[in-house]
């Protein structure tokens, strides 16, 4: 028997989706409650720290989910295949949302004002993604410094391509970044094996 998501879980999921589309500043509690189909008063019960707590938990949750996805994909395939899967996932999300949906962790990184902790959580998430990719490259013989550089390049290129794709309303930037990253990663791994 599958357990139904709680109102709190639905609010977190809704916040993640809304932050991807609108950003944190432009998302209200009312928006989150409506999308989650949650009782009006329940948001302060579950998030007594207000919007800041919701943004922190949503960013941490989204970052953790992405980290799990990356690690799982790396365990099944290699870094090149993982990056292709990530780009494919983001590509589908962009097209399915009419270019409204970006990265929820990036939404946390871009906010200002009362969201300093959210920016820190976003930074920790990006670092965890880089570390997972770098570790997979090192396992394939790529020197540590090169692996770290490639992992940073991959994460920042994908995040940047998402931003450009949304602005241009085209997945061309994401596709081009995917092709370039694949070539860089494959060359580094092939060179390490020689």
pLDDT at 112: 67
Distance (Å, whole) CA 115 – CA 183: 37
Handedness of CA 131, 132, 133, 134 (dihedral sign): positive
User: What's the CA gap between 147 and 16, in Å, rounded?
Assistant: 30
126 closest CA partner among 167, 70, 172: 70
Q: Which residue has the tokens 């990530």?
A: 86
pLDDT of residue 2: 65
**What is the model's pTM?**
0.92
Give yes or no for a contact between 140 and 52, defined as CB atoms under 8 angstroms apart. no
Q: What was the pLDDT predicted at 21?
A: 93
Give the residue carrying structure tokens 């085209």.
Answer: 170
Note every long-range contact of 118-124, with CB atoms under 8 Å and residues 24 or more positions apart, other chains counting: 118/24, 118/52, 118/55, 118/56, 118/59, 121/56, 121/59, 121/60, 121/63, 122/59, 122/63, 124/63
pLDDT digits (tens, 9 = 90+) for 80-137: 999 999 999 999 999 999 999 999 899 989 876 678 899 999 999 999 999 999 999 9
- The residue to which tokens 């020197």 are assigned: 143
What is the C-alpha separation between 154 and 83, in angstroms, rounded? 8
- Enumerate residue ranges in the chain where pLDDT < 70: 1-2, 112-113
């Amino acid at each position: 028997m599958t357990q139904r998501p709680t109102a709190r879980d639905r609010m977190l999921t809704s916040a993640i989706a809304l932050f991807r589309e609108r950003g944190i500043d432009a998302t209200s509690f009312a928006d989150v409650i409506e999308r989650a189909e949650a009782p009006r008063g329940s948001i302060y019960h579950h998030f007594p720290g207000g919007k800041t707590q919701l943004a922190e938990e949503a960013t941490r949750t989204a970052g953790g989910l992405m980290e799990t996805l990356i690690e799982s994909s790396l365990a099944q395939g290699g870094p090149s295949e993982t990056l292709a899967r990530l780009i494919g996932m983001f590509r589908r999300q962009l097209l399915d949302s009419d270019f409204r949906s970006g990265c929820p962790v990036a939404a946390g990184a871009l906010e200002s004002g009362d969201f300093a902790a959210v920016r820190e959580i976003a930074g920790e998430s990006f670092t965890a993604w880089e570390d997972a990719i770098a570790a997979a490259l090192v396992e394939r013989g790529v020197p540590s410094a090169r692996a770290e550089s490639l992992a940073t390049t991959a994460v920042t290129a994908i995040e940047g391509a998402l931003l450009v794709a949304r602005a241009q309303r085209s997945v061309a930037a994401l596709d081009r970044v995917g092709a370039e990253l694949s070539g860089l990663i494959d060359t580094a791994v092939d060179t390490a094996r020689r």
